[in-house]
Amino acid sequence: MARIVMKFGGTSMAGTERIRSVAQRVKREVDAGNEVAVVVSAMAGETDRLVNFCREASPLHDPREYDVVVAAGEQVTSGLLAIALQALGVKARSWLGWQMPIRTDDAHAKARIEDIDTAALREAMAGGEVAVIPGFQGMGPGNRISTLGRGGSDTSAVAVAAAVKADRCDIYTDVDGVYTTDPRIVPRARKLKRVTYEEMLELASVGAKVLQTRSVGLAMKEGVRVQVLSSFDDPADAPAADTLPGTMIVGDAELGDDMERQLITGIAHDKNEAKITLTNVPDKPGAVANIFTPLADGSINVDMIIQNISHGTGSTDVTFTVPASDLARSLDLLDKAKGDIGYGEIVHDTRVAKISVVGVGMRSHAGVASAMFTALAQRGINIQAITTSEIKVSVLIHEDETELAVRVLHTAYGLDAEEAG
């Protein structure tokens, strides 16, 4: 017997038929003697629809009322799943965020969970009742409904799993695990059996969007064992979740010495970056601070940074990347700071992509970066910027070369599966 948190995303909850199928899957875990809590998303597309209503009502709206509106999608699916479970003869009830409660801070629309009161929940679960919990929502100060930011139901699931000390948090989604790279680009990408929290954080933050990044950080902090697995196999003959058919996200220790493990775990790509270059920036102390302070004050996340040395001219070019969605604001901030910074021209380019190779194996191996540069050079792919961390090397290239670069690197690091599939 185990205590399990199961989480189902929007595509798994989209419509009565799918919700019935989810109920079957939950029933299987209950029949196997497990204590179960289920965290659900709103039906696919529903949150977007609700967000739009708020925008239509007023472009500038009170985030506390926005939360009341957008939390509604999960209220619907949690009630429907409880009904579907009851129809199968499974004891179940919904627990809305304010009922448990899941307490959050007051950052409405992007709140953080502070505390979950699980006493009543645990009692119900121990009594064989399935707890159905709407993801994404909580209760802020003054007992106001809050939400955790888009994609937040992953974070709800991990937080509940931590709070009830679950043996596992199974995240059911429309893919059957985490792959070495995007299988749409590389059909021979392999499903990973295990990936570490840190690797998953790097993969998520560079564009492999399986889980909300925040949920992975929380799982790492709380030591929650997370499995990503498919909700689309027929629930009647899907492999049992405790045989770990998906991808487990675990700590370094649990990774052990997996002989099959490659040096590189995965390759991610991200086309949502924009490159900015400031020319003729004075080469003197404080110049770089003058560039990045206004961006930081504007909460703009700068990623890659390159500064060339000057060649006796007393000035140099500085290149960096920001999220493409923040480009217009970045250009505006830099324009306003032009006097302080004292640059020549500002040039930007959104036709770029960031390609990253990730793996804890590179901590103990040299040559990962040079292998990357060589493989790209052999295909004539030009590198515009580079960053590294202990377990990641990223390069910025022309957007049109994304697919080619991912394929070349997947092969270069020996990640291709034996057979297509």
By the criterion CB under 5 A, which residues form the site for Mg ion? Answer: 9, 151
Q: Using CB under 6 A, pick the residue from 110, 150, 188, 329 that binds ligand ASP.
A: 150
Should residue 71 be labelled a site residue for ligand ASP when binding is judged by CB under 6 A? no
**Degrees (nearest 5) of the Cα angle 379, 380, 386?**
100
Give Cβ neighbours of residue 180 (< 8 Å, ≥ 6 apart). Answer: 186, 189, 190, 192, 265, 266, 267, 410, 415
Q: Using CB under 6 A, pick the residue from 153, 227, 316, 319 that binds ligand ASP.
A: 153
Should residue 294 be labelled a site residue for ligand ASP when binding is judged by CB under 6 A? no
Nearer to Mg ion, 124 or 158 (CB): 158
Q: Phi, psi (5° rounding) for residue 354?
A: -105, 125
Whole-angstrom Cα distance, residue 121 to residue 316? 60
Nearer to Mg ion, 9 or 138 (CB): 9
- Three-state SS for 157? helix
CB 294 to ligand ASP: min, Å = 30
Nearer to ligand ASP, 113 or 371 (CB): 113
**DSSP β-bridge partners for residue 139:** 103, 145
> Which window, 39-47, 138-146, 286-294, 301-309, contacts ligand ASP (CB under 6 A)?
39-47
> Which window, 86-94, 119-127, 144-152, 283-291, contacts ligand ASP (CB under 6 A)?
144-152
Nearer to Mg ion, 75 or 307 (CB): 75
| Single-letter amino acid, residue 281 | V
98-135: b or e for each residue (b if 16 or more CB lie within 10 Å)? bebbbbbeeebbbbbbeebebeebbebbeeebbbbbbb
Q: Using CB under 6 A, pick the residue from 134, 138, 152, 217 that binds ligand ASP.
A: 152
> Which window, 53-61, 149-157, 374-382, 390-398, contacts ligand ASP (CB under 6 A)?
149-157
Report the 10 Å Cβ neighbour count for 11: 17
Report the 10 Å Cβ neighbour count for 238: 19
Give Cβ neighbours of residue 293 (< 8 Å, ≥ 6 apart). Answer: none
> Which window, 41-49, 221-229, 234-242, 357-365, contacts ligand ASP (CB under 6 A)?
41-49
Should residue 41 be labelled a site residue for ligand ASP when binding is judged by CB under 6 A? yes
By a kind-dependent CB cut-off of 5 to 8 A, residue 179 interacts, out of Mg ion, ligand ASP, none, with none
By a kind-dependent CB cut-off of 5 to 8 A, residue 47 interacts, out of ligand ASP, Mg ion, none, with ligand ASP
Should residue 135 be labelled a site residue for ligand ASP when binding is judged by CB under 6 A? yes
Should residue 10 be labelled a site residue for ligand ASP when binding is judged by CB under 6 A? yes
By a kind-dependent CB cut-off of 5 to 8 A, residue 136 interacts, out of ligand ASP, Mg ion, none, with ligand ASP
Nearer to Mg ion, 74 or 283 (CB): 74
Given CA atoms 191, 197, 203, 208 in this order, what sign does their dihedral have? positive
Classify the phi-psi angles of 142: left when phi > 0, otherwise alpha if psi is within -120 to 50, otherwise beta: left
Report the 10 Å Cβ neighbour count for 366: 8
Should residue 138 be labelled a site residue for ligand ASP when binding is judged by CB under 6 A? no
By C-alpha distance, which of 212, 227, 166 is closest to 37? 166
Residues that bind ligand ASP in the complex, under the rule CB under 6 A = 10, 41-42, 47, 73, 135-136, 150-154
